[in-house]
Amino acid sequence: MATAIVEKKDRSKLIPFSSRLKEGRALAQDVWSIFNALNLPADCINLGQGYMNFPPPAWVTEAAEEALRTVAPNHYSHPKGRIRLREAIKKFYGPQLGRELDVESEILVTSGANEGQYSVFTAFLEQGDEVIMFEPFFDQYLPSVTFNGGKPVYVPLHPPAHDISKPTSNDWTIDIAELRRAVTPRTKMIIVNTPHNPVGKVFTKKELEEIAAVAEEFNLLVMSDEVYDCLVFDGKEHIRIANLPGMWDRTVTVGSAGKAFAATGWRVGWLIGPASIIQPTLAATTRIVFCTNSPLQEAAASGLEQAKERQYFEIQRAEYAERRKILVDVFDQLGLKYTLPEGSYFILLDISNVKFPDDYPFPKSVLGRGRDFRACWFIAMEIGVSSIPVSEFYCEEHANIGEAYARFAFCKDVDTLGKAAERLKNLKNYM
């Protein structure tokens, strides 16, 4: 009798999962799985996700192959990161930060920038601590903050005024009074992302000085996400907030081998900052991943060691500028409004004038989301080029600001971008 009852019971949800998954938006179907290549026509050109369709440089992958043939790098590394990579980071970033970095206490190798940021949150957030981030924001910040008991607080980057006919990412502005108003006695941290995903904004010295003044006044930790530091265009200068007076002591600078060496799947990143930030973060990362994969740390080290001599970052920057131009030219030909990015590898296209039928056969996953989800879906299906709806990078209350934009990633080879540009010309049929 008892056996029969057990058999009838639904056993598929016996154990309730943690509410933090809901708070961290981790259960909602995320934009990456909706606009995933698998859901789109096989020949749709993927300018949605921000990973490259070209390999890392051969002289970097060769170092990975060599590491795999050597015994030591097939095993655990020190949780701080392999000494060769920490030395390479010291040599590469030290001069830019104007200091002799201590490889033992001021540099930490992490499993991608993402895990490094997660570990900082684990190390510094108490339950209910507030973390200010500028919207639109890189979507991983939200779950990483909430999983660690923090509360995200949003301050908007204001989109370009309507009468600017050719906006650049510099026309997305911060209102420092708004930032000040967002600070409460529970504020612990500000996240600054420059060059910015998805806007492409390269924060100016003045903007960073104003943010720094707020951080100093309210004793806040600054997480400076600079994973696109190597991709700044048009002679614009990448400023590191850690370099502003007094800021080293409260800033952790975040970098990524994935962006630097076209190797997003390697999951190698790094944090640079004072021992007072790096040491607690080391304690956290040691208990989260213990250490980052060893062979690809060797490869990243080799990349940084050789970059200068090979003029790798200068050449890469010029290649990305050429890629950016392919999309910009087609948008110009069509008379479409977009934000010219001064950094990173994304272009925001204003899609508010793209017209599509209300009764178009949209999948459930995009219905009930912002208009941009439907517009991006329509563009992917009818034009054959995928992009990412920008409302995903906003909190629910402010999602309407993002609805005007689709994000096109130009971290793709010239051929692919050329084909995408040809297809995008057909957008004129829907304006």
Ligand X SMILES: Cc1ncc(COP(=O)(O)O)c(C=O)c1O
Least distance to ligand X from the beta carbon of 198, Å?
8
Name the residue with the smallest CB distance to ligand X: 112
Interface with ligand X, residue 156, by CB under 6 A: no
Encoded one letter per residue, x for contact with ligand X by CB under 6 A and - for no contact, window 134-153 reads: ----x---------------
Number of residues that bind ligand X (CB under 6 A): 13
Considering only 108-116, 121-129, 326-334, 375-383, which stretch makes contact with ligand X by CB under 6 A?
108-116
Q: Which of 77, 107, 108, 114 binds ligand X (CB under 6 A)?
A: 114
Which of 144, 193, 292, 297 is the binder for ligand X (CB under 6 A)?
193
* CB 48, min distance to ligand X, A: 12
Nearer to ligand X, 271 or 421 (CB): 271
Binding range to ligand X, per CB under 6 A, among 88-96, 110-118, 231-239, 304-312: 110-118
Nearest approach in angstroms of CB 227 to ligand X is 5
Based on the shown chain and the rule CB under 6 A, indicate whether residue 297 belongs to the binding site for ligand X: no
- CB of 269: closest distance to ligand X in angstroms? 4
3-state secondary structure the chain: CHHHHHHHCCCCCCCCCCCHHHHCCCCCCCHHHHCCHHHCCCCCEECCCCCCCCCCCHHHHHHHHHHHCCCHHHCCCCCCCCHHHHHHHHHHHHHHHCCCCCCCCCEEEECHHHHHHHHHHHHHCCCCCEEEEEECCCCCHHHHHHHCCCEEEEEECECCCCCCCCCEHHHCECCHHHHHHHCCCCEEEEEEECCCCCCCCCCCHHHHHHHHHHHHHCCCEEEEECCCCCCECCCCCCCCHHHCCCCHHHEEEEEEHHHHCCCHHHCCEEEECCHHHHHHHHHHHHHHCCCCCHHHHHHHHHHHHHHHHHCHHHHHHHHHHHHHHHHHHHHHHHCCCEEECCECCEEEEECCCCCCCCCCCCCCCCCCCCHHHHHHHHHHHHCCEECEEHHHHCCHHHHHHHCCEEEEECCCCHHHHHHHHHHHHHHHHHC
Using CB under 6 A as the binding rule, the residues of this chain from 36 to 55 that contact ligand X are: 50
Span interacting with ligand X, options 4-12, 80-88, 106-114, 397-405, rule CB under 6 A: 106-114
264 binds ligand X (CB under 6 A): yes
CB-nearer residue toward ligand X: 130 or 229: 229
* Residues of the shown chain interacting with ligand X in the complex, contacts defined by CB under 6 A: 50, 112-114, 138, 193, 197, 225, 227, 256, 258, 264, 269
